[in-house]
Structure formats: structure tokens, C-alpha cells
Structure 1
Amino acid sequence: MDRIDALKAIAGQAQRGELAFPTSVDATLKLQRALADPDCHLEAAARLVQAEPVLAARTVAIANSAAYNHTGHDVTNVNAAVQRVGFRTLGALAASVIVRQLAGELTDPLLRAKADQLWQHSAHVAALAQVLARRVSRVDADTALFAGIVHEVGGFYLLARAAEFPGLLDDCADDWLDHGEVPIGRAVLLKLGVPAPVTGAIEALWNGMRALPPETLGDTLLLANDLAPVGSPLHERPGATTAQGATTIDLTSGEGTLVRVLQESADEVRSLAAALL
């Protein structure tokens, strides 16, 4: 089976709902659903987070990042961290754990390296999307953070399946974009229960169309993707701006220019991305 046939086979399985997830993902999905329950209270949420060590550590780290720690006083326990970040950010963090778990069982060094780079890219996009949403496009910042975290979830699923298909990712940039990204990405987003507005924003990212200055969640995600200092190892989008070239992008926003906003928010972006990593 050649590379394109393998991609089509994986995409076909995904479209039929035949998704092979690690058992750890199923457990975290249950946790995410519990956290989304409107009857879930703060104490119950903290207990659920404490039962998942990775999520617990990430929640405390995010709570102490410059994006959330406006007083300069670090929290040292999950209860205080949950209270500071809120349930919506907590849901995004649970999604970050799920995304990492998709490729968490990789043993091949090359595949693990690609997965690590893809997560670095996702973390930077998420951090940038949150800041751009809050200070430039004025869309919901928590939703932008979540969209950045899950925008490459189809790529993580592909990496998780790559060991079954030798050579699947050899020079796969165009093949992944043409034959895998949209059908596999859509299926995994559906499986994870990603809300329609976020899926729509990711579809806009796939299509590569955006407005400047950014007005919608899709515009915000696209700009964050272009500005991210770490690119995706799976592809470069047609017409996408390189990380170096993105530094020349500027526009007028409600708070000045984009360059000024990014300079003023650099600590927030850096600390938030680091906490997600």
C-alpha cells in the first residue's frame, strides 16, 4: 500500500467512525465530560483533576502563568488553581491532555520527535490565539485557547497510526493536506465533541482564508498559526507566512499595532506556552 492509499484508508476508517484511540484517551474523555457537566461544582472538579496527575500539574502551571497570575502570588494546590483558571480553561487543559495522549504510545524516535514538534506548535498557537482574541479580534479568549490546542488533533491521530503504515509520513506534506487533514481532522474533532464554532474556525484554518485585522475565531486562529515560532512538522499551508516572515505582519488594532500588542504580551504568551508544554 503506497502513502496516498494508506492516507485514504485511515481517512475512510475515520469517516466511518472507526477511530482507534488509546485507552488513556477514553478515560480522559470521561473526565472532560464530567467537567463539562453544569452540576459539577468546584470541589468535585478539583477532585477529578487531582486524579489525573498530568492535568493537575498543568492546571497549577497555567494558574501561575503570567496570563492568569495577575497578582504575582503563585498557587500551590489544585483547588486554588481550579478556582483561578475557571471551568472553561480547565476544559481546554483536559483537551490538551487528550491531544497529547493520542500519540503518547509512540516508540519510534522519529515519530516521537514529530509528535513533540507538533505539540510545541499547538501550544504556541494556543497561547498566541488567546492573546490575539483578548486584545485584537475581541472574540472569546477561552474558546481561542481551546481552538489552538485542538487545531492539529487530526495530525496527532495520524502520527498515532503511522507505525502501522511504514513510510506514511515520508515527505507527506502535500499528501496529508490533500488526502488526510480534512476527513481525519473532522472525524477526530467529532469524536472529541468539539463544539461547532471551534470546528468551523479550524475549517477556516484548513481553507487558509483570513481577514486582517482578524475579526472571527477562524481569523484569530490563522494569524496565531502564522505567528507561531514553531511550525507543524506535517505540512506548510499554501501561501502561509513563515515564522520569520510573520514578524513583518502588522496592523492597527484597538490597542495600537499588532507588533506592539505582541511585544506587550510576550511574557503572557511565553509563560502560557511553557505551561502547556
Structure 2
Amino acid sequence: MEKLRDFAQIVSQAERGELVFPTSVNAALRLQLALADPDCATDDVVRKVLAEPQLAARTVALSNSAVFNRRGPLVTGVRTAVLRVGYRNLYTMAAAMVVRQFGSRIRDPQLRAMAGQLWRHTAHVAALAHVLARHVTAVDADTALFAGIVHEAGGFYLLSRADELPGLLDDPAEWMGAAREIITREMMRKLAIPEPVALAIVALRGATLTPPPAGLRDTLLLAKRLAPVASPLALPVDATGTDQALEDYVRDNARLDDVLRQSAADADSMSAALLV
């Protein structure tokens, strides 16, 4: 009964727009807002990135990934990395830092392991979404990368709250459905996620694929299905049913196999950069 009361309180907070973010996340959000300012000078951006070691390391790693550095010299400095990846992708790196912060202070070993797995899933989904957007679904690739990074923000929030409220996530039936959607919607609002991206992410729950895949939601659906690391917050397949059209498309599509084979280096290097 106490667990149900705790969970109801979290959902009620989300409905009222009162989700509580840790101080570290608020700092990262301020950095993200600064990066969203088109008038922000390069020197100021570089200083802000240098002030966040994780963001600096991830930006340099991304600038050296196969996507951004085909044959050029190895990037070793933040200024060059910022100029190479561009402000839009730097904004995505800041969003990655925000999302990842939710798992950084979890104390429970099992929940920490789940948060680690969820971040690995997120990184692979983001990298695959970038590849699929360029070659399959004709979506803006940078937008797909950003959507992949933030699509599990609600899951990270739930894990962080479960660390404070033991047993909160023991029964997926209590939080996997509409309740998680409410929390995800509020997370999208709180993180100032652009509406087209937020709508695609919220629409993932219970979504089915109508081949050929098109649009941001289908890009994320495919990326999640193809990710080599599963989300620890996903229900077992036998509990949710299988989107047969999605399975058929993945299994019997020679063009998809060819795209993934040719783009494997890009996806691997980008996901590795995100996991720094």
C-alpha cells in the first residue's frame, strides 16, 4: 500500500508539472539553454564546455568518430571539437549529460546496473537512429540523434526515484502504461524538448510499424529494435506482443542489411563516443 501511495504521488507530481530534478541536472540544463542561444559566442561556448569535464570528453570523442572525422587529423582540443561537431550536436551532447546525470547518484547496486544498461541502450539507439535517418527514413539525422539521446529520459527519472523509494518498480504493470507516458510527457516539457521530437517519443509506447518506415517515430522504433543492448525497463516480448510488421521488416529487408553493414563503423564509433 505504501509503494502504491509513493507511485501515485510521483504520477501526481508529473501531472502538476512538479517533477523534482537534482541540482546537478539543473546545472546541466542551464548549460543546455546557453547552447540553444544562437547569439552565444564560440569563446563562451568553449568555456562552458571546458567547465563540464564529461561534456568536454564526450565532445572530443564525438569529433573523432567516423561520422565527423573520416581521414582528418585526430582532434585533441575542445575548441576544434566544438567547431567540427557544430552547435546542434553539441546541444545533443549537453542533453546526454542531463539524461545521464539522473543515474549518476543512484546508490542501490541493482538500480545502478539498470541505469548503466539503460544508458548503453540509449547510446546505441541514438547512433543507430542517426544512421537510419540518413539512409532509410529520410529524417534529419541530427534530430534523430538528439531524439535517441532523450527518448528514455522518463525511464532514467523513474530509476532515480526508485533509489529513494525501494520497491517502486517491482511491478511493471503499475508504471509501464499510462503512468510512464504521463511522466515522459512532463520530462519532455521540463527538458524543453521540441514538440515534434517529444511527440515522436511519447508515441513510441504501443506503436506499430507500417512499412516502409518513415518519420522520426519509425526511426526510433527501428533503432530500438536493432540496438544490441536492450532497455532494462522494457516488458518481455510475450507480455507486450510482437509488432510483426517490424519484425518482418528487420528480418527480410536486404536494403536494411546493406545499410547497416556499410554504416557499422559509423554507428559503432558514435555509440562509443556517447558512452565516454
TM-score, normalised with respect to structure 1: 0.92
Kindly indicate whether the alpha-carbon contact (under 8 Å) linking 2:134 and 2:140 is maintained by their aligned counterparts in 1: yes
Alignment of 1:125-274 (within 5 A): 125-170=125-170, 172-236=171-235, 238-240=240-242, 248-251=250-253, 257-274=255-272
**Quick check: 1-10 or 157-166, which moved more?**
1-10
- 1:115: how far off? 0.4
**Which residue in 1 is equivalent to 2:73?**
73
Query: What letter matches 2:253 in structure 1?
Result: L
In the TM superposition, what are the counterparts of 1:57-136 in structure 2 within 5 Å? 57-136=57-136
CA distance in 1, matches of 2:210, 2:174: 27
Structure-1 separation of matches of 2:4 and 2:228: 29
3-state SS in 2 of match to 1:218: helix
Cα offset, 1:211, TM superposition: 2.8
The structural deviation recorded for 1:106 is 0.7
The match for 2:44 is: 44
Deviations 1:148-203 (A, max 9, x none): 00000001000111123221122x33332124320111111100000001011102
Alpha carbons of 1:79 and 1:208: their partners in 2 closer, same or farther (altered >3 Å)? same
Cα separation, partners in 2 of 1:119 and 1:48, compared to 1, 3 Å = same
Q: Which amino acid aligns with 2:46?
A: A
**Which secondary structure does the structure 2 equivalent of 1:89 belong to?**
helix
Q: 2:165 and 2:53 mapped to 1: Cα distance?
A: 32
Aligned residue-pair number: 270
Task: Note the residue ranges of structure 1 that are not aligned, 5 or more in a row.
Answer: none
| CA contact 1:176–1:234 (8 Å) conserved in 2 | no
Q: TM-score of the superposition, structure 2-length normalised?
A: 0.92
Deviation at 1:129, TM superposition (A): 0.3
The one-letter code matched in structure 2 to 1:106 is: I
Q: Unmatched 5+ residue regions in structure 2?
A: none
- CA drift of 1:209 comes to 2.5
Pairwise CA RMSD of aligned residues?
1.9
In structure 1, what residue type is equivalent to 2:206? N
Are the equivalent residues in 2 in contact too, given 1:227–1:246 (CA < 8 A)? no
**Percent of residue pairs identical:** 54
* Aligned AA (2:101): Q
Deviates most, 22-31 or 177-186: 177-186
**Aligned partner of residue 76 in structure 1, secondary structure:** coil
